[in-house]
Every structure is written in structure tokens, then in C-alpha cells.
Amino acid sequence: MTSLAFLIALPLVIAMLLLVFRPRVVRSVIVIAAAVVIAVGSLSLLLPQPGFLSAPFQVPAEYLDWIVLGVELALAAFIFFLGIRHVRHLVSLLALLQAGLAVATEVLFGSRIEVATLIAADRFSLIMAGIVGIVGSLIAVYSLGYMKAYHEHHREYRDRQPLFFFLQFVFLGSMFGVFFANSLPLLLLFWEITTLCSFLLIGYNGTAESRGRAFLALTLNLLGGLAFAGAILFLASTAGTVELDKLISMEKGAALIPAALLAFAGMTKSAQMPFSSWLLGAMVAPTPVSALLHSSTMVKAGVYLVLRLAPLLRGTIPGTMVALVGGMTFLAASLIAISQSDAKRVLAWSTIANLGLIVLCGGIGTYEALWAGILLILFHAVTKALLFLCVGTFEQKTNTRDIESMSGLIMAMPKLSIMIQIGIAGMFLAPFGMLVSKWAVLKALVDSNPLLVIFVVFGSSATLFFWVKWMGKLLEVTKVRQADESGIAGRQWVALGALSAISIGLVGFYPLISAQLIEPYVRGIYGQVAMISQGNFIIMSIMLGMVALFPITFFVYQKNVRVVDAYLGGGNVDSSVLFQGAGGQVKSMEMRNYYLTRLFGERRLSLAGGIACAAFIFVMFGVAL
């Protein structure tokens, strides 16, 4: 039991240490040590330790309620004054409202409510904790190298690395808190801390642009927080409880309103349409922030909550609406990703899309969907973190993150390029993780609501387009370039290598994870479980084996062939890329991927998707009320 509290507290302590010990070397030591401890700690929870999982953690409720409320009010006050100072009155208003709801809950119902289980962990929390523990600590290690180079490149930004690492660890601690808290007010507290961390990290560069984006994120997340607080108040007033496990086991009818409110909070947190704009804006933050907060962990808190509610949402109209929001977001975001050439924006849209898919699973809420949703979280967190860090590394080296400038990366930065390929393959290619999960989603939908299949099939086909063209860009070689991967710190390579290894390893080991963790959890709720048949797993293993041979081709060159120039209509000038152009000039051919902007333009599609999703959300509340 202590280990749960320990996992929450340790990062907070380390955060304090980092704020105190500011020299870089000391920081490195602390961060690396802390990363190891956190990773080991979060993994150790996964080892069978009979008994602890259900053991309640008894703290005198009166104290804790007030402590939680106190911290929450302090946060609200901080945000309130932030809003005042930067003339963002909406932010102040939202903070004020939320604080009001929290106070109202405590004052009106605080004395009547007994919290039986304050923090607890089941297998789902443990999976989430494992993801945060491992991915989070790898990203922290990576940040050490990245932030140093970042500030060398960007002299214009103030070097506030102690704050950066402080926030990162505060964030890690509160993520554990989100996953372990069973008491909803406590969960909301951690939830809001992550929001604040996200706000501060997005605004890290201190420019007007980043501040604007940070406030956008804050506003939308506070909106979710408000719904969350509303859910607590409602729950406290009608059911007399503020515990998550109690909510989930409640009758569907009564629980629908808080469930809808919580689902709404989850959707804002995981940037579903129409709230997706904040996640795009968050891409101004340094890349490790995008990797940690805005793709692999914090946004997962939202879908975590939605998946928690899955049993409540199953078969209800609000549930269907949640699923529709998820499905629509998946489809629209996947299509929009086609039109993006900024690597981080592609990743951001793809993140939104995948979160949508998970929300879709939560909204469906069947055992198959839940199983698929958890698998999606797992695979997506690892692979997307890898991709973000790779893009960050590329940007650090070249000062751009345009996919077009990745042309020929296989020659210029072979290691990095292969890692990106692994990440991309992991995102959509058979037999890698995300495809397996999508497959599971498809099967789950077919049994419950085939209408939703349309989102998945069209969305996945768009996914295929933008990932493959990116892969192609990495592979094509129009200019011979010398390999140069210097200047990337060893710690960065460690993180990248580990994430790549995990991405591949998961494909082989996910049946084990599924059998040990996901299936028992799902069975615990529904009494039945989905899985991939053994025959198919063997076939997929064969495929993986074959694909795994592929990287060999990056190093083996064909002998006994004649190398000739590429076909340029016969106009070649001693080269595969130069041709005799008009006006007597020798021109170089250029190749730019298709972005089909007119068809899949961001503005148009996000508007359409946003309107559709907003409509679904209105219907959700309308029906729930």
C-alpha cells in the first residue's frame, strides 16, 4: 500500500530537490537516479503482491478533505490571479466557479460523506502507472540532453531548466495520483495539477505565442475541470458518495449525469473535438513536453477516465454519443493529418485521432471494446513517445521539423531514421501494436454497433496515407548526404533506444500483458473477455518475424547490379536528380509529398468535426439530464 503513496510522493520530493539543487551535473544525477527508481517502482507494482491491491488506505477523512480542498483552493487562487494578471477573465471565472463548486460540495455534503477507499489500484491503474513510470522516466532522461541543446540553440528563451524539471516531476507524481486516487475530489486535485503543469510547460518559452497557447489549453481544461467538479457535487448530493469505484457500480440511471460530466471532462483532457485546438497549440512547448504530457501520459488521463466509465456508458445513449465523438474525432483528425507537413502537428493530430479511438471504445463500453481501448493506450503511449522524441531530436539537429526536410534521413541520420520507421510502423502497420488494437476495435464494433465501423475504416485508410508518405520521405534519397548524428547526447539515445525496443518488444509480449493484466481486469468487470486467437497470434508472429528482417536492408547493399541514373525523360545531366531544364539551365528535380490540402484542409475539417462533436455532446447531456 505504501508503495502507491510512495510513487505519488517520490516524484514530488524529487521535484523539490531539483528546485533546490540547481547545478546541471547534480540535476543529471538526481534525474537519472529518480528515473530508475520510478521506473523500477512502477514496474514492481506489476509483480504479484497478494493483498495490497485492495487494501484501503485509511486516513482520517476530515483532515484529508480539508487538505485537498485547501490545495485545490490554492490552485484555484493561483489560476485566478494568473487570469487577472494576463487579462484572461474567462480563466479567472472558470477557476472561481470550480472553487465554488468544490467549497459547496465540502460545505454541503462534506460531513455526510465517508470516503472508504481514498487511494487504490487495480490492474488498469497499474498498467497506466507502468506506462507513466517507464515512458515518463525515459522522457525525463531524454530531456536532460535535449534541454541543454535546446537552450544552446534558442538563446532567445530564458533558461529555466530547474523549473522545467521541477514541473516534469510534479507532473509525474500527480499522474500517479490520478491513476491511484479513488476519491474523486483527490482525483480532481491531481487532475488540476496536471492541467497546471501542462499550462506552465506550454508557456515555458515565455513568448507571447506560447503564453496564448498555454491559456487556450488552460481554459479548455478548466472547462473539463468544472464539469468534473460538477460531477462530484452532483454525486455527493444524489448518491452521497464521491468514490470512483462506487460510482461505477451504481445503477445506470442515476449515474448517467455524473458519468456524462466526467466523460466530458475526459474528452476535454484528451483533446477530443471540438476541444482539440489546445493540443495543437501545445506543440509550441519543447518536444519532451509534447511527448510526455501531450501524447503519452497526461492526455491519457482523459481516456483513462472514459474507459473507467465504460461499464456505465455501455448501451446507453450518452455512451453512444461519447462513442460518436470519439469516432468522429478519429476520422476527422486522421484526415486532417494528411494535410500537415509539420511533423509535430502530424503527431498531434494522430494523437487526437487515437485518443478518439480510445474514447470510442469507452463509449461502446463492451468487454471487447474495453480490452481494445486499454491495448490502444499501451501501444500508443510507447510508440508516440518514441516518435515525438525522434522528431525532437531531428529538430535539435536541423532546426526544422518539416517532414519534407526529412528527405533522405536514412542516409543523413540512419539510427534516428530507423527509430522513426519503427515508430511509424508501430502506429499503423501489421502486425504492430496499434494495428492489433485497431483490429480489436473493429471486432468490438461489429458486435455492438456496426454504424461506428464507418469511422474506423475510413479513418484508418487516411492513417495509412499519411504514415506511409512520411516513411517514404525518410527512405527516398535525392541528394547523397553524409551520415551525421553527432551532437545528440548519449542519454537521448538511451531513451530513444529503450522506447524503440519496447515498441517492438510489446508486439511479442502483449499477449502476456493482456493475459496477466488486461484480461483479469476486464473479466473482473464483465465476466468475459476478448482476446486474439492463438492461430492468429502465430500468424502475426510470423509476419513480425518477416518484418523484423527488414532493417537488414538498410545495411545490406545489392552487389552485382549496375547503378544507373533515374528516369528523367532522358534529360539527365550526369545524375539521377539533375536534368536539362528550360532556358538552358540545369535544374534539380524536387519531390514533395501530397498534402491534398484542398480536400483535407485543417480549418474546414476541424470546423466540421467540431460542429458534429459539439452536437453529439449536447445530445449526450440532453439525454443524461
Partner 1 sequence: MGTRTVIPFGPQHPVLPEPIHLDLVLEDEKVVEAIPKIGYVHRGFEKLVEKMDFNELVYVADRICGICAFIHSMAYCQGVEAVMSVEVPPRAEFLRTIWSELARLSSHLLWLGLMADAFGFESLFMQSFRIREKIVDMLEEMTGGRIILGVCRVGGVRRDVPNDALADIVRRVKDLGVEMHRLADVFLQDDSVKHRLVGVGVLIRDQAAELGCVGPMLRASGVSRDTRTLGYAAYGSVDFAPIVEKDGDSYARCAVRIRELFQSVDLVAQAASKIPGGEVGVKVSGYPEGEYHSRCEQPRGEVIHYVKGDGTRYLQRYRVRTPTFANIPALLRMLQGCELADVPVLVLTIDPCISCTER
Partner 2 sequence: MKAFAKSPWVLHYDASSCNGCDIEVVASLTPLYDVERLGVINTGNPKHADIFLVTGSVNAQNLMVLRNLYEQMPEPRVVAAVGICATSGCVFRECYNVMGGVDTVLPVDVYVPGCAARPESIIDGILQAVEILEKKHAYMKSMHGRMKEMTIGRATAVDAPEILALQKIVYQNEAEMYDDWSLAPLRQTLDDLRRDFETRVFIKAVVGGKIIGSVKGIMDGDTAHLSRLVVHPYFWKQGIGTRLVQEVEASFPKAKRFETFTGQKSRHTMEPYQRLGYLPIRQEKVSEHRDRVYFGRDREGA
Partner 3 sequence: MSPLDTALLAIVVVVAAPIAGGLLAGIDRKLSARMQSRWGPPLLQPFYDVRKLFRKETIVVRRSQNFYVYFFFVFMVFTAALFFTGGDILLTIFALTLASIFLVLAAYKASSPYSFIGAERELILMMAYEPMVLLAAVGMYLVTRSFIVVDIARSPQLLALRLPGLFIGFVVVLVVKMRKSPFDLAASHHAHQEIVRGITTEFSGRTLALIEIAHWYETTVVLGMAALFFAALPWLAAVAAGCVFFLILLVDNVFARVKWQVALATAWITAAALGVGNILVVFFLR
C-alpha cell at 507: 508486439
Give the residues lining the site for partner 3 (CB under 8 A): 429-431, 435, 439, 442-443, 446, 450-451, 453-454, 457-458, 460-462, 464-465, 468-469, 471-473, 475-478, 533, 535-536, 539-540, 542-543, 546-547, 550, 553-554, 556-558, 560-568, 576-577, 589, 591, 593-594, 596, 599
Binding mask 502-541 toward partner 2 (x if CB under 8 A, else -) reads ----------------------------------------
Half-sphere exposure of 588 (CA within 13 A, CB side): 5
Binding partner 1 (rule: CB under 8 A), the pick from 159, 245, 402, 476 is 402
Measured in degrees and rounded to the nearest 5, phi and psi for residue 413 equal -135, 75
CB-based contact 445:330 (threshold 8 Å): no
Binding partner 1 (rule: CB under 8 A), the pick from 498, 579, 617, 620 is 579
From partner 3, partner 2, partner 1, none, interface partner of 63 (C-beta below 5 to 8 A by class): none
To partner 2, the closest distance from the beta carbon of 571 in angstroms equals 6
CB-based contact 343:398 (threshold 8 Å): no
The one-letter amino acid at 565: D
To partner 1, the closest distance from the beta carbon of 407 in angstroms equals 6
From partner 3, partner 1, partner 2, none, interface partner of 471 (C-beta below 5 to 8 A by class): partner 3
> Which window, 115-123, 352-360, 524-532, 572-580, contacts partner 2 (CB under 8 A)?
572-580
Neighbours of 66 (CB within 10 A): 12
How far, in Å, CA of 376 to CA of 160, rounded?
A: 35
In the DSSP assignment, the letter for residue 271 is T
Closest CA to 15 of 221, 282, 207, 200: 200
Closest CA to 361 of 452, 486, 467: 452
- Our CB check for partner 3 shows the closer of 178 and 338 to be 338
Measured in degrees and rounded to the nearest 5, phi and psi for residue 421 equal -60, -40
Q: Is 562 in the site for partner 2 (CB under 8 A)?
A: yes
How far, in Å, CA of 115 to CA of 98, rounded?
A: 21
To partner 1, the closest distance from the beta carbon of 565 in angstroms equals 12
- The CA-atom distances, in angstroms, between 35 and each of 144, 165, 190, 361 are 11, 12, 20, 32
Q: Residue 541's Cα: distance from chain center in Å?
A: 27
Binding partner 1 (rule: CB under 8 A), the pick from 597, 615, 619, 621 is 597
From partner 2, partner 1, partner 3, none, interface partner of 405 (C-beta below 5 to 8 A by class): partner 1
The enclosing H or E element of 459 equals helix 453-475
3-state DSSP call for residue 170? helix
From partner 3, partner 1, partner 2, none, interface partner of 515 (C-beta below 5 to 8 A by class): none
To partner 3, the closest distance from the beta carbon of 482 in angstroms equals 16
From partner 1, partner 3, partner 2, none, interface partner of 574 (C-beta below 5 to 8 A by class): partner 2
Closest CA to 382 of 276, 470, 498: 498
How far, in Å, CA of 487 to CA of 474, rounded?
A: 20
From partner 3, partner 1, partner 2, none, interface partner of 587 (C-beta below 5 to 8 A by class): partner 1
From partner 1, partner 2, partner 3, none, interface partner of 81 (C-beta below 5 to 8 A by class): none
How far, in Å, CA of 499 to CA of 214, rounded?
A: 28
Binding partner 2 (rule: CB under 8 A), the pick from 563, 583, 585, 590 is 563
From partner 3, partner 1, partner 2, none, interface partner of 151 (C-beta below 5 to 8 A by class): none
- The CA-atom distances, in angstroms, between 543 and each of 111, 428, 505, 510, 547 are 60, 14, 14, 15, 6
Q: Is 588 in the site for partner 1 (CB under 8 A)?
A: yes
From partner 3, partner 2, partner 1, none, interface partner of 23 (C-beta below 5 to 8 A by class): none
CB-based contact 258:231 (threshold 8 Å): yes
From partner 1, partner 3, partner 2, none, interface partner of 581 (C-beta below 5 to 8 A by class): partner 1
Residues engaged in binding partner 1 (CB under 8 A): 402, 404-405, 407, 568-571, 579-583, 587-592, 594-597
Residues engaged in binding partner 2 (CB under 8 A): 560, 562-565, 567-568, 570-574, 580
